Amino acid sequence: MNRIDPDSPDLYSIADLAREFGISTRAIRFYESKGLLSPERLGATRIFRRRDRARLILILRGKRLGFSLREISDYLGLYDADRNQQVTMLAEKVDERLEILEQQLSDLQTTIAELKEIRKLAIQRVAS
């Protein structure tokens, strides 16, 4: 393991990352417990490096886009793998997610149209 230099600008505490990304330290510890982050330890203190910060960015982006932790974990597993593998997997997962979202959008549009029709009929009934 590399020796930790606490004065390095590339080191972050859990509080630093939580503050920067607007999430709780508990969320970061949760991602660590799931094996998505692997900070070094200085006694009981977690020390995060730039790599951990980059992984956290990917985790949060994946969650925001609706990917499961399993899917995010699979992608992060390729973090050090061949770049083409990463891009191929990412493209496949994005295509799958887009298909789901497009279906949900279609379902929502249908539901909205039906609700508008029900509202219109209700207003007509009250008026007559």
Q: CATH no. for residue 4? A: 1.10.1660.10
100 and 48 together in one domain: no
Residue whose tokens read 């692997």: 38
| Contact present, 96 and 88 (Cβ < 8 Å) | no
Q: What is the number of structural domains in the chain? A: 2
Q: How far is CA 25 from CA 34, 57, 83, 92, 95, in A?
A: 14, 15, 31, 32, 32
Q: Which two tokens stand for residue 74?
A: 């699979």
12 and 47 together in one domain: yes
Residue 73 covered by a domain: no
**Could you tell me which residue, 110 or 4, shows the higher pLDDT?**
110
Provide the pLDDT confidence category of residue 124 given band limits of 50, 70 and 90.
very high
62 and 93 together in one domain: no
Residues near 33 by Cβ (< 8 Å), separated by ≥ 6? none
Residue 71 covered by a domain: no
User: Is the pTM of the predicted complex or chain greater than 0.85?
Assistant: no
Q: How far is CA 9 from CA 26, 36, 37, 68, in A?
A: 23, 22, 19, 32
- In this predicted structure, the answer to whether residue 72 has a pLDDT above a threshold of 70 is yes
pLDDT at 2: 44
- In this predicted structure, the answer to whether residue 1 has a pLDDT above a threshold of 60 is no
Instruction: Provide the residue range defining the domain that includes 29.
Output: 1-66
pLDDT at 20: 95
pLDDT at 5: 54
90 and 57 together in one domain: no
51 and 13 together in one domain: yes
Sequence letter at residue 86 = Q
| Contact present, 48 and 17 (Cβ < 8 Å) | yes
92 and 33 together in one domain: no
60 and 103 together in one domain: no
Provide the pLDDT confidence category of residue 56 given band limits of 50, 70 and 90.
very high
pLDDT at 61: 94
Helix (H, G, I), strand (E, B) or coil at 45: strand
Residue range 27-52: mean pLDDT, rounded: 93
91 and 54 together in one domain: no
- In this predicted structure, the answer to whether residue 3 has a pLDDT above a threshold of 80 is no
10 and 54 together in one domain: yes
- In this predicted structure, the answer to whether residue 59 has a pLDDT above a threshold of 50 is yes
